[in-house]
Structure 1
Amino acid sequence: MSEAKQSVTLKQAFKEFIWPRRKIVFVGLLLIVVSRLASLVLPGATKYLLDDVIVKKDLHMLKVLIAVVAGSILVQSVTSYMLTKILSVEAQLLISQLRIKVQKKILSLPISYFDNNKSGALVSRIMNDVEGVRNLVGTGLVQLIGGLLTAVISLVLLIKISPMMTFYVLVPVALFAVVAAKAFTYIRPIFKMRGVINADVTGRLTESINGVRVIKGFNAEEQENKTFEKGVEQLFLNVKKSLTSTAIITSAAALLLGLASAGIMGIGGYMIIQGKLTFGDFIAFTLYLGFMIAPIVQMSNIGSQLTEAFAGLDRTQEIMNMAPENDDVARTIQLPSIKGDIKFEDVTFSYEHGKEVVKGISFDAPSGSVTALVGTSGSGKTTIASLAASFITPDSGTITIDGIDLSKITLSEYRKNLGVVLQDDFLFEGTIRENILFARPQAGEENLAKAVSAAYVNEFTDRFELGLDTVIGERGIKLSGGQRQRIAIARAILADPKIILLDEATSSLDTESEALIQQSLNELM
């Protein structure tokens, strides 16, 4: 399979996410070490309390023990607070940076990628897939290492108290380790599939909300409800699988604790009766055993979190490995300024193999001229406009700009000189002013006023109380089709492009408005 299908390894995650933040992670490790060592004070103090202080009735030693235990609890509290504050904040910063990185990458992908993926699904991939990384840089990984450290130190202390009882404990621990390892291997693909299902459900939900007028217009609420219910059920079944696996780990941990406790009770009681173990040693052993087993149980939960993190990173890595629209190897020619001569030479393109939408198209569109494409619906007019805008690339043939092959020109340089008005042009939620200025945010009021006047936007904004500062709603839902189209045209005019592509841009306008805008476009050219 391709590289995009490979899973992210621990080595890759360490190199990309942990090593660049090694100073903060090291501070976190230092804090967790101090915290874990402080937590081991209580079992040791309990042994001295039972075997020495109470037996000898030593009040001075009692005061010292209380002070030491209180100090250790204070140390645990302070280190726990600092650990959360330092690492959790850094994890959230990393999540923010990753979201920005993934969003930037997605916007660099070809139009065909967006044609084949739901917008809601892409939103889910940007916002949700990177969430799990907090368990790598946040407290999750550090707690895992801290848990291992606590378990090792506790094991040494347990061996020191009673090697025989310690050996008995290690048998169920080893069995648990085998069960947990197999369970985590099984869970990772489930978490990865959950991301896919969640993206699909989110995508469909976004579509249904955006298309609510169509749903209600065709009385299709029940149909849409069933579609959403089906997606939610798939998500539930996926979660059910992961919960089942997690339950196996948790149950194994409970069984481990139960078997160890029962065995230690019997062996310890026998050794105390035989005089081979003091009561203080037995209590200390029991407490240290808890300190060894608790991190192991905790590690099973952290292991699930880390597995979820790697599943999300797998999906993120798939996107990051995709080839961007602007191929830096092929597109090397810079065009700081262009005349605007476009030439199609024997251009063929198909969305599906063997089904050409345009075939052997050749024509010239010289600078300063108007080239009109006339044809029936589905004849390829929009496809040719998309080819000219370099939204898609021809299967064969050549498109040239000022005699230079368009496929070799850097897209950012070319599109600086391009203005596009589509049949169903997109408006952003916000004000009319913000939508027109989208093409040139730095444009002054004078240029804005000219674009507004040229596209006859003022013909309807003058009737609004807030004028250009009127909020138009999502996708300009509060405006008519003609009004939205005039705003889109004003946006293109403000961009002052060398090439302007109009894909049936006046189809939503009445005859009078269309005539006025045709006149303004003539003046623009």
Structure 2
Amino acid sequence: MGSNSINKDEQTLKRSKVEIVRRLSIYLKPHKAKTVIVILLMIFVMMCSIINPYLLQIAIDNHVENENVKGLLLIGLILLSLNAFAWILSRIRWKMISEVTNTVLLDIRKELYSHIQNLSFDFFDSRPVGKILARVVGDVNALKNLFNQSIQTVIPEGLSLICVCIAMMIMNFKLAVACMTLLPLLAISMFYVETKSRKRWNDFRSKRSNLNGFTHENFSGMKVVQAFAKEEDTEKTYKEMVRKEKNAFLQAIKLNDLFWPLVELSWGVGTLIVFAVGYRLVISGEIQIGKLIAFSMYTGMFWRPITNLSSFYNTMITNFAAADRIFDILDIKPDIENIPEAIDIGKISGKVEFKDVSFAYNNSSEVLSKVNFKVNKGDRVALVGATGAGKTTIISLLSRFYDPSNGKILVDGKDIKEVKLESYRSQMGIMLQDTFLFSTSIMENIRYGRLNATDEEVIEAAKAVNAHDFIMRMEKGYETEVNERGSRLSLGQRQLVSFARALLANPRILILDEATSNIDTETERLVQEGIEKLLQGRTSFVIAHRLSTIRDCDKIMVVENGGISEMGSHEELLAKRGVYYNLYMAQYRFISEGA
């Protein structure tokens, strides 16, 4: 599944029907017991239905003709009892089917969600969030009818069809053959419809996914839309995408609706053929009128499972596109995952080494080429350089959001590709350039750094970065809801909350990617004071365009042209009068002129 924009239809791999059915049936395995009980209940209900015409034949041919009222009452009582019991069992069956179906959908949704969480950043970078949501929500929901009908239709209706065919053959072979005359024609017609239908349903789901992606993106960027007065333009785009979705749906449903006329026509014509043949047999004396009436009931019972099986087949074809889209994601292998022999890294001290590390995004030109450096335990390291030089890439590789194309990254002498991700990342505190807050309270956003932290520990972390005062000025203090993506807070306040979250994790390696980029000078000074003691004893990597914030770092590395061009302390690099010196002097002059 390749990269997609909002308006680009997603390409999905078309799997065979056998493969899809096999993979979906795996989700029913944990519910075998309930499934078997449901099938047994349905078989019993089916047998009750099959017995009804036979009892009716006896009542007409034996008791009506002989005016045997007691016999008629007995058969009536038997019919009433059987059908009442069958109704009770049907209610139990429906309840169990609902439980199994909803549990299976929950299992699929949880598996899909868990799998997506483990996928690499490349997956999210190349797909609009709305399209991912369409698969997790809409496509999974589309499978509900498929599972419902698979449990209650395929085996029971198949058995019912076999039993009815046997009963009809025993009752009268000529009438049975007459009843089945149109089956080959129906099968050919349905196969033709199926070959066209699946492609159209896949097209519809792609159009709906595009609409979801556009809607999510547009609502997320509503401030920009309104700021540039683009409401009418986005509304036109939305209407056009709705129109495309509607047309795709109509094209799919028109073809889909051919199933019912085909089945109904075959049923009607087949019934006429049975009565035509039956009339001749009654006239010739081969059968009695009671047998013809009973056989006509069997004719309905013959076509009813065919109708239900056709409905299931129709549902299956309709929803195979949804299954394909779900399996497309489940079949994506995470770029970053634990190797089978991965070990727990244990408590790390924070010694870091890059050995001939090279990296390129999506097979493009290299962002980093043979980068080498060593960082000792507790060192404060600053990364500086022009935008796009590779500073954030170094941080991402150290965090193992990506793996190097070549070379090794060692922490405490261990290759991070050979250790368990959770044991490694749980000892890192990361504050990325893109500050993200969840739509919950400030308290819970900070606690995300360590979920078992107490309220007091959360407050201490906030105090350490000087976030406590502004939080307490909020209407509900730490219980104030920040809204989606923290929109209720200013950029600087969001970063302070995010910073407190990173510090609460009590990391061995602390990463700050433009951590103070949106904080005013006075707030930045308070933050620097607050985190000074927390940086002690921890290895820290700092990316900042304001060089004034990194002068006290133990080591400054200048990232340039995919490598480390200079390395040393602030004073050492100034004395070299190289790239760092030029960057520092240019920024100093800019500030002076601005002042």
TM-score class, shorter: over 0.9
1:501 is paired with a residue of what secondary structure?
strand
Separation in 2 of the partners of 1:157 and 1:512? 90
Query: What is residue 115 of structure 2 aligned with on the other side?
Result: 105
Out of 130, 139, 159, the position equivalent to 1:120 is 130
State the 1:470 CA deviation: 0.5
State the 1:54 CA deviation: 2.7
Moved more, 61-70 or 290-299: 61-70
Aligned partners of 2:178 and 2:277 also within 8 Å: no
**Structure 1 residue 26 corresponds to structure 2 residue 36:** yes
Separation in 2 of the partners of 1:54 and 1:276? 20
**Structure 1 residue 206 corresponds to structure 2 residue 216:** yes
Query: What is residue 276 of structure 2 aligned with on the other side?
Result: 266
Query: What is residue 231 of structure 1 aligned with on the other side?
Result: 241
State the 1:486 CA deviation: 0.5
Separation in 1 of the partners of 2:234 and 2:211? 12
Query: What is residue 491 of structure 1 aligned with on the other side?
Result: 501
Out of 475, 486, 491, the position equivalent to 1:476 is 486
Separation in 2 of the partners of 1:447 and 1:317? 43
1:390 is paired with a residue of what secondary structure?
coil
State the 1:103 CA deviation: 1.0
Query: What is residue 255 of structure 2 aligned with on the other side?
Result: 245
Residue-by-residue CA offset, 1:351-396 (whole Å, 9 max, x unaligned): 2434333334333333222222222323322222212211122222
Separation in 2 of the partners of 1:329 and 1:17? 26
Out of 165, 169, 177, the position equivalent to 1:155 is 165
Query: What is residue 13 of structure 1 aligned with on the other side?
Result: 23
Structure 1: which 5+ runs fail to align? none
2:372 is paired with a residue of what secondary structure?
strand
Separation in 2 of the partners of 1:17 and 1:330? 25
Separation in 2 of the partners of 1:330 and 1:366? 30
Query: What is residue 164 of structure 1 aligned with on the other side?
Result: 174
Please state which structure has a larger fraction of its residues in helix. Answer: 1
Distance 1:61 1:4, change over 3 A: same
Aligned partners of 2:356 and 2:408 also within 8 Å: yes
Separation in 2 of the partners of 1:326 and 1:358? 19
Separation in 2 of the partners of 1:480 and 1:331? 45
State the 1:310 CA deviation: 4.2
Query: What is residue 91 of structure 1 aligned with on the other side?
Result: 101
Out of 418, 421, 429, the position equivalent to 1:419 is 429
Distance 1:395 1:329, change over 3 A: same
Distance 1:227 1:410, change over 3 A: farther
Tell me how large the CA RMSD over aligned residues is.
2.5
2:344 is paired with a residue of what secondary structure?
coil
2:63 is paired with a residue of what secondary structure?
helix
Out of 440, 443, 463, the position equivalent to 1:430 is 440
Separation in 1 of the partners of 2:255 and 2:151? 21
1:443-462 paired onto structure 2 within 5 Å: 443-462=453-472
1:494-505 paired onto structure 2 within 5 Å: 494-505=504-515
Aligned partners of 1:335 and 1:413 also within 8 Å: yes
**Structure 1 residue 351 corresponds to structure 2 residue 344:** no
2:27 is paired with a residue of what secondary structure?
helix
1:388-427 paired onto structure 2 within 5 Å: 388-427=398-437
1:328 is paired with a residue of what secondary structure?
coil
Out of 331, 337, 341, the position equivalent to 1:327 is 337
Moved more, 435-444 or 13-22: 13-22
1:356 is paired with a residue of what secondary structure?
coil
Moved more, 271-280 or 9-18: 9-18
Q: Given residue 242 of structure 2, which amino acid in structure 1 is its aligned partner?
A: V
Out of 162, 183, 188, the position equivalent to 1:178 is 188
Moved more, 409-418 or 258-267: 258-267
Quick one: percent identity of the two aligned structures? 28
Separation in 1 of the partners of 2:503 and 2:420? 23
Separation in 1 of the partners of 2:267 and 2:463? 78
Q: Given residue 500 of structure 1, which amino acid in structure 2 is its aligned partner?
A: L
1:231-310 paired onto structure 2 within 5 Å: 231-310=241-320
Distance 1:350 1:227, change over 3 A: farther
Aligned partners of 1:108 and 1:324 also within 8 Å: yes
Distance 1:14 1:461, change over 3 A: closer
Aligned partners of 2:39 and 2:151 also within 8 Å: no
Residue-by-residue CA offset, 1:251-299 (whole Å, 9 max, x unaligned): 1112101211222232223333333332222211111101100110111
Aligned partners of 2:428 and 2:507 also within 8 Å: yes
Aligned partners of 1:132 and 1:305 also within 8 Å: no
Distance 1:187 1:75, change over 3 A: farther
Separation in 1 of the partners of 2:98 and 2:196? 28
Residue-by-residue CA offset, 1:46-65 (whole Å, 9 max, x unaligned): 32333333322221122112
Query: What is residue 466 of structure 1 aligned with on the other side?
Result: 476
1:400 is paired with a residue of what secondary structure?
strand
2:258 is paired with a residue of what secondary structure?
helix
Q: Given residue 103 of structure 1, which amino acid in structure 2 is its aligned partner?
A: Y
**Structure 1 residue 312 corresponds to structure 2 residue 318:** no
1:223 is paired with a residue of what secondary structure?
helix
Query: What is residue 375 of structure 2 aligned with on the other side?
Result: 365
Separation in 1 of the partners of 2:154 and 2:251? 24
How many matched pairs? 525
Query: What is residue 441 of structure 1 aligned with on the other side?
Result: 451
Structure 2: which 5+ runs fail to align? 3-11, 536-595
State the 1:152 CA deviation: 2.0
1:129 is paired with a residue of what secondary structure?
helix
Separation in 2 of the partners of 1:132 and 1:393? 36
State the 1:192 CA deviation: 4.4
1:372 is paired with a residue of what secondary structure?
strand
State the 1:107 CA deviation: 0.8
- Computing the radius of gyration from Cα coordinates, the structure with the larger value is 2
Separation in 2 of the partners of 1:342 and 1:379? 21
Query: What is residue 5 of structure 2 aligned with on the other side?
Result: none
State the 1:37 CA deviation: 1.0
State the 1:434 CA deviation: 0.4
Moved more, 224-233 or 256-265: 224-233
TM-score by length of 2: 0.82
Moved more, 382-391 or 274-283: 274-283
Aligned partners of 2:358 and 2:370 also within 8 Å: yes
Aligned partners of 1:451 and 1:494 also within 8 Å: yes
State the 1:132 CA deviation: 4.7
State the 1:104 CA deviation: 1.0
